[in-house]
Amino acid sequence: MARNREFDVDEAVDRAMDLFWRRGYAATSLQDLLGELSIGSGSLYAAFGSKDKLYARALERYCSLQAGGIAERLEGATEVRPAVREVLVEMAEADLADPERGCLVVNAATERGGDPATVDRVAAAMRVLESALAGALERAKARGELSPDKNPVELARFLTTFVQGLRVVGQAQLGRAFVEGAVSTALRALD
């Protein structure tokens, strides 16, 4: 008779996500994961298959949490420009508050750029952000908040690229004034 799992899989993914986020993929050993999750190797393999698959689930969870919050805020915004500014500043604030941790998507892209599954997940996360921004900018254009000559998709791609750079700047600890100036300049693209 098979034993029932004695741990919460979703909680385990969240805890693994936090560990990978703090330490990175390579610096997180199987033993580190087993200790953090308080499970044996058999349970880890039965639930997730491998360290790689657990990392993929953790990265997926992170992307889902990040993208869902951003999309929700942009969709519900009555004015797009302040909402975009708020989203950009909030991301920068998170990195300024915990620069060693940074953004798990940026960390994954830089550490695991040779892993096709990670590259696909990172690209998908960036497409979700681009789509949320493009949708918000389309609505802004329709309401007259954005000039008719502006291309919402091109602006969304620019802002998606800018966000990733902003996340790296947060890890480089260049400070709040640097970030605020960069965000103000980026938002002028919407003028």
Where are the strands (E) in the chain, listed by range?
none
| Number of C-beta neighbours around residue 97 at 10 A | 9
| Number of C-beta neighbours around residue 168 at 10 A | 14
The dihedral through the CA atoms of 26, 120, 165, 77 has a sign that is negative
Domain ranges (residues) in the chain: 59-190
User: How far from the centroid of its chain's Cα atoms is residue 113's Cα?
Assistant: 16
Query: What distance in Å separates the CA atoms of residue 90 and residue 107, rounded to the nearest whole number?
Result: 18
Summarize pLDDT for 126-153 with one digit per residue, the tens.
999 999 999 999 999 999 999 999 999 9
- Tell whether domain 59-190 is in CATH 1.10.357.10: yes
Summarize pLDDT for 34-55 with one digit per residue, the tens.
999 999 999 999 999 999 999 9
Question: What is this structure's pTM?
Answer: 0.86
Query: What distance in Å separates the CA atoms of residue 67 and residue 71, rounded to the nearest whole number?
Result: 6
